[in-house]
Amino acid sequence: MYLMKLLITGLQNPEKAKNFKEAIMGIEGVSKVEIKPPNDVGIYYNPTKVYPGRIKAAISSVGISLPGGG
């Protein structure tokens, strides 16, 4: 299992956090999503089933932009 740690602002909004979590958990191979206030996110995934670009695409699909243009 790999852990991807991210800093994402705006997840204090419950609806946005719910949409974010659902989008990430919908990826086969993702086992857990942790959102820790204020901006920390941890995504646990199986690297044989998921590549990081897929996770980043799912994040973008719910309207969240990552620092550094990701």
Cβ-contact 51, 2 below 8 angstroms: no
Q: What is the pTM of this model?
A: 0.89
Per-residue model confidence as pLDDT tens digits over 6-62: 999 889 899 999 999 999 999 999 999 999 988 999 999 999 999 999 999 999 999
For the chain, which residues make up each domain, given as ranges? 1-42
CB neighbours (10 Å) of residue 30?
Answer: 20
